[in-house]
């Protein structure tokens, strides 16, 4: 009978050892008197102790003492590892841990070895401990943490560089852009990353930039070009554009570094010849992208002119609160004060306004100036705030998507010729900075529109499909993510065809089409707008026609479908204009 029981016990132990091997884990079991009951052979992989130490009946204190004598010191805080450790104190500490109901921790045994300890005290007093080697996981975690630290450091360095730096992937989409580059376009990184140069530059410059990018990507040959760029604020930027290919095969990226030499050019240091010149530029600087936005500049000046000189003096030491429902005004004023070194934020309702002031007063945060939009509901009550803060009320004057239309409508239109607009009489304050074409019909087609197709689509997958199809057909295009952006890009680029998705955030396709048609009433022009719908319902089609759209297509779109629509509305229009 005893032989049978002994045989059965050996089978169970063998099965337990096999399970431990399969799970790559070591198991140790102690009874309620802290005497060893079972220890799998995997324990010897982690602790270089004699095998006799792990025989059943060995006391916990003796096992821990044997581990200590091998030089292993787990369970010691990192800040104390360099100090001498008393054997009895260490053993006593581990015994106290052993008697906890539960214990779960990752302990470092050596420089490159970690063990995951799990201890459970059972109701009968037995203790079960499992040990799992997690060294590879910890190495990966440390590598990831180190990589993240390097990335953060690299990003911080790029952000502080005075010269613009960008990185493009194999598809020539922006994957990194520092602050200096974003400043050129007066854009945020979120508005640039993931897009291509076609979303930022005009067609001619976009084609030139993409051609050089692709050459560098395919050949690995460095690229150098002196360029003259006009920033969004109208200032000149002279740069030496350098492009390099980096990365492993199949994972190449293009890094563009724009060395800012504006100071040398402005100081007369740039020359085309001569041995004493600081900067020798053979052939001079190529005229690059003009990022200046005259509409935004006029809006900015209109707002700043309504502020007093004292309001703009000593800005770095001021805290300014802007109250407006107009996101355009918020963007301009907050950006302006932050660019001047001030601390500025905005609220969009009376409730936010009062809550902000109350919270600032509670935390003793002094606000130096409040700028209040007189289009705000209850702006008169807000102007009389009880906190005694200096308040300036501004009159936006139509600032926003319709600013140009309002500007034109406020001035007399003279019809002395057959031009759709006639001669526009502008005030003296604007005449020096603005030029408005008076004969649109006499303008070349390239001046009327610098892209062929504008696609308004919020779904990223559909955006990719449209881009692939249009690029394959050799048709220049832009992508707008919502109706409001579509109207803005239409005003800027005057495309020959608009493909308008109906359901979009911010502003839907119906409202965007109506706004475009209203703007065209002033110019006498007509841009074909084709609705892009998920399903051809009669009610949707009628709404599209009522909004002034010319046609519709249904998703999913195909190259033949897009080519047919383009030939019907845009290709013929181009030939007619050229003729």
Instruction: Report pLDDT digits (tens) over 359-408.
Output: 988 888 889 888 898 888 887 888 877 678 888 888 876 666 555 555 54
Looking at every residue in the chain, the average pLDDT score rounds to 79
> Domain 296-394: which CATH class?
alpha beta
User: Is residue 131 within 8 Å of residue 43, measured between CB atoms?
Assistant: yes
Instruction: Report pLDDT digits (tens) over 407-459.
Output: 544 443 433 344 333 343 333 333 344 444 444 443 433 345 678 999 999 88
The answer to whether the bond into 428 is cis (omega within 30° of 0) is no
Please choose, from the candidates 511, 555, 559, 505, the residue with its C-alpha nearest in 3D space to the C-alpha of residue 532: 555
d(CA 296, CA 434): 12
3-class state of residue 176 by DSSP: strand
- CA 476 remoteness from chain centre: 25
Predicted local distance difference test score (pLDDT) of residue 496: 92
Predicted local distance difference test score (pLDDT) of residue 263: 81
Confidence of residue 490 (pLDDT cuts 50, 70, 90): very high
β-sheet bridge partners, residue 393: 372
Those residues whose C-beta lies under 8 Å from the C-beta of residue 240, and which sit 6 or more positions away, are: 224, 225, 226, 227, 258, 259, 261
Predicted local distance difference test score (pLDDT) of residue 266: 61
Task: Give the number of residues written for the chain.
Answer: 579
For every residue of 291-307, DSSP letters joined together read: ---HHHHHHHHHHHTTS
Beta strand residue intervals within 329-382, DSSP E:
343-347, 369-373
Residue 344: phi and psi, rounded to 5, are: -135, 140
Using only C-alpha atoms, what is the Rg of the chain?
Answer: 36
What CATH number was assigned to the domain covering residues 443-578? 3.40.50.2300
- CA 378 remoteness from chain centre: 36
User: Is residue 514 within 8 Å of residue 548, measured between CB atoms?
Assistant: yes
β-sheet bridge partners, residue 236: 230
d(CA 69, CA 67): 5
Predicted local distance difference test score (pLDDT) of residue 2: 52
Q: What is the mean pLDDT of residues 150-174?
A: 87
Q: What is the mean pLDDT of residues 86-94?
A: 88
**Residue owning tokens 């002279």:** 238
Predicted local distance difference test score (pLDDT) of residue 279: 55
d(CA 488, CA 492): 6
User: Quick one: tokens of 212?
Assistant: 């050089």
Question: Is residue 261 pLDDT above 90, yes or no?
Answer: no
**Residue owning tokens 């109207």:** 487
Those residues whose C-beta lies under 8 Å from the C-beta of residue 220, and which sit 6 or more positions away, are: 245, 252
Question: Is residue 14 pLDDT above 80, yes or no?
Answer: no
Please choose, from the candidates 94, 98, 96, the residue with its C-alpha nearest in 3D space to the C-alpha of residue 85: 94
Predicted local distance difference test score (pLDDT) of residue 531: 92
Q: For 416, left (φ over 0), alpha (ψ -120 to 50), or beta? A: alpha
Q: What is the mean pLDDT of residues 38-60?
A: 87
Instruction: Report pLDDT digits (tens) over 301-341.
Output: 888 888 877 777 777 778 899 999 888 888 888 878 877 77
Predicted local distance difference test score (pLDDT) of residue 449: 63
Predicted local distance difference test score (pLDDT) of residue 505: 85
d(CA 199, CA 206): 9
Q: Which residue has the higher pLDDT, 527 or 576?
A: 527
What CATH number was assigned to the domain covering residues 11-139? 3.30.450.20
Those residues whose C-beta lies under 8 Å from the C-beta of residue 350, and which sit 6 or more positions away, are: 376, 377, 378, 381, 382
User: Quick one: tokens of 340?
Assistant: 């001047």
Q: What is the mean pLDDT of residues 473-486?
A: 90
The alpha carbon torsion through 179, 182, 187, 191 (nearest 10 deg) reads -90
Q: Are strands 453-456 and 477-480 parallel, antiparallel or unpaired?
A: parallel
Predicted local distance difference test score (pLDDT) of residue 377: 83
Question: Is residue 574 pLDDT above 90, yes or no?
Answer: no
Question: Is residue 246 pLDDT above 50, yes or no?
Answer: yes
Q: What is the mean pLDDT of residues 4-16?
A: 60
Q: Which residue has the higher pLDDT, 574 or 73?
A: 73
Q: What is the mean pLDDT of residues 544-550?
A: 90
**Residue owning tokens 């199809």:** 469
d(CA 94, CA 113): 19
Least confident range of 92-101, 173-182, 304-313: 304-313
Instruction: List the chain domain ranges.
Output: 11-139, 161-292, 296-394, 403-441, 443-578
> Domain 161-292: which CATH class?
alpha beta
Instruction: Report pLDDT digits (tens) over 506-516.
Output: 889 999 999 99
β-sheet bridge partners, residue 229: 237
Q: Tell me if domain 296-394 and domain 443-578 are identical in fold.
A: yes
Instruction: Report pLDDT digits (tens) over 264-278.
Output: 776 554 444 444 444
Predicted local distance difference test score (pLDDT) of residue 24: 74
Instruction: Report pLDDT digits (tens) over 194-230.
Output: 888 888 888 888 889 999 999 999 999 999 999 888 8
Predicted local distance difference test score (pLDDT) of residue 135: 87
Please choose, from the candidates 412, 415, 421, the residue with its C-alpha nearest in 3D space to the C-alpha of residue 439: 421
329 exposed, middle or buried (CB, 10 Å; 0-12, 13-18, 19+)?
buried
């Amino acid at each position: 009978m005893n032989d049978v029981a002994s045989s059965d016990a050996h089978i169970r132990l063998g099965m337990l050892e096999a399970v431990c091997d399969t799970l790559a884990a070591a198991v140790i079991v102690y009874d309620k008197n802290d005497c060893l009951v079972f220890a799998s052979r995997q324990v010897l992989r982690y602790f270089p102790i004699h095998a006799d130490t792990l025989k059943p009946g060995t006391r916990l204190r003796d096992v821990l003492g044997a581990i200590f004598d091998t030089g292993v010191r787990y369970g010691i805080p990192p800040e104390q590892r360099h100090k001498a450790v008393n054997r009895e104190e260490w053993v006593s500490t581990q015994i106290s841990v052993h008697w906890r109901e539960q214990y779960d921790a990752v302990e470092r045994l050596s420089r490159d070895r970690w063990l995951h300890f799990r201890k459970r005290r059972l109701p009968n007093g037995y203790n079960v401990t499992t040990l799992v080697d997690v060294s590879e996981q910890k190495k990966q975690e440390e590598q990831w943490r180190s990589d993240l630290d390097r990335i953060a450091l690299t990003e911080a360095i790029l952000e502080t560089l005075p010269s613009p730096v960008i990185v493009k992937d194999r598809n020539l989409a922006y994957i990194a852009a520092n602050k200096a580059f974003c400043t050129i376009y007066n854009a945020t990184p979120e508005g640039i990353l993931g897009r291509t140069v076609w979303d930022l530059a005009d067609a001619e410059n976009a084609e030139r930039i993409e051609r050089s990018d692709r050459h560098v990507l395919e050949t690995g040959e460095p690229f150098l070009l002196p360029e003259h760029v006009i920033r969004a604020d109208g200032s000149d930027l002279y740069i030496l554009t350098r492009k390099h290919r980096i990365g492993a095969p199949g994972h190449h990226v293009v890094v563009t570094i724009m060395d800012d030499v504006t100071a040398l050019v402005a100081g007369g240091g740039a020359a085309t010849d001569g041995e004493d010149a600081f900067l020798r530029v053979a052939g001079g600087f190529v005229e690059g992208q003009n990022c200046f936005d005259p509409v935004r500049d006029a809006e900015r000046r209109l707002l700043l002119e309504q502020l007093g000189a004292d309001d703009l003096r000593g800005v770095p030491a001021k805290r300014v609160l802007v109250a407006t429902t107009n996101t355009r005004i918020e963007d301009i004023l907050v950006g302006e004060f932050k660019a001047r070194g001030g601390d500025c934020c905005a609220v969009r309702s009376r409730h936010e306004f009062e809550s902000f002031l109350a919270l600032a007063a509670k935390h003793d945060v002094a606000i130096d100036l409040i700028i209040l939009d007189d289009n705000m509901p209850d702006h008169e009550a807000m102007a009389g705030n009880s906190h005694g803060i200096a308040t300036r009320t501004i009159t936006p004057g139509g600032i926003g998507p319709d600013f140009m239309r309002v500007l034109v409508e406020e001035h007399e239109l003279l019809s002395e010729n057959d031009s759709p607009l006639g001669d526009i009489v502008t005030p003296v304050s604007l005449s020096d900075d603005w030029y408005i074409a008076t004969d649109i019909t006499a303008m070349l087609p390239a001046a009327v529109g610098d892209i062929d197709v504008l696609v308004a689509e919020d779904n990223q997958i559909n955006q990719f499909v449209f881009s692939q199809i249009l690029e394959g057909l050799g048709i220049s295009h832009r992508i707008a993510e919502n109706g409001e952006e579509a109207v803005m890009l239409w005003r800027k680029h005057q495309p020959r065809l608009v493909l308008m998705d109906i359901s979009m955030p911010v502003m839907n396709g119906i409202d965007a089409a109506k706004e475009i048609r209203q703007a065209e009433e002033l110019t006498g022009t007509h841009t074909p707008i084709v609705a892009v719908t998920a399903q051809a319902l009669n009610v949707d089609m009628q709404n599209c026609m009522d909004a002034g759209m010319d046609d519709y297509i249904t998703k999913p779109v195909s190259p033949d479908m897009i080519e047919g629509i383009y030939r019907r509305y845009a290709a013929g229009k181009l030939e007619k204009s050229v003729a």
